[in-house]
A and B are shown apart, each in its own frame.
Chain A
């Protein structure tokens, strides 16, 4: 399983765009990159998943360079309710996911 490295914490202000980068140097050919959001005392919520290039949905964008050794989660115009822990996971086509420490995002007014 590919190990991931992401910043422990980030601060932002309401209305700003937030980019969280995750490094995964030993990503395997069939690995997908998945980002989850977790609020205190809740299960992780699926945000976005991608394999290469760029993926966009209604809440976020995921940018993956050609070498796939890193990825960036982009949250447009964050609000106070986006304060949470964000996890980047890299996993095989089928199987378990190992969580790292995640990035604690704090959005201030």
Chain B
């Protein structure tokens, strides 16, 4: 299997506080994980690529000092939303990359269940 979990599944925090979201690959090791954000009725928007043991790569327009990503092990990546504001309220989804079996060489991405963040 290829199972990815996220914790918490939902969180409510006050404006100005920080929130940490965990993403774990449960049955495989993932050197690369990805973080997405999704607003209601919209598609997933890639925020950043998380690489184990190195700095994350952020997409254009995503503030790296606001969305801190740490990928300290092959099964865990964390996203910390610092100084959260109501506009950060969204559905945050992570994915983990796993090598596929067929050729040509490719990778398969498996997604977590998502974390609903509400900032009041």
Kindly report which residue of chain B lies nearest to residue A49, judged by CB atoms. B108
Dominant SS at the B interface?
strand
Contact B107 A100 (CB under 8 A): no
Residues of A in contact, count (CB < 8 Å): 26
Supposing A43-B93, A87-B43, A102-B43 touch, asked if A51 and B104 sit within 8 A by C-beta, the answer is yes
Supposing A99-B44, A100-B43 touch, asked if A42 and B104 sit within 8 A by C-beta, the answer is no
Residues of B in contact, count (CB < 8 Å): 29
Chain A to chain B contacts (Cβ below 8 Å), 21 pairs: A30-B104, A32-B100, A41-B114, A42-B113, A45-B111, A49-B100, A49-B108, A51-B106, A92-B106, A93-B106, A93-B107, A94-B32, A94-B107, A95-B107, A96-B34, A97-B34, A97-B95, A99-B36, A99-B43, A99-B45, A100-B43
Give every chain B residue within 8 A of A95 (Cβ-Cβ): 49, 107
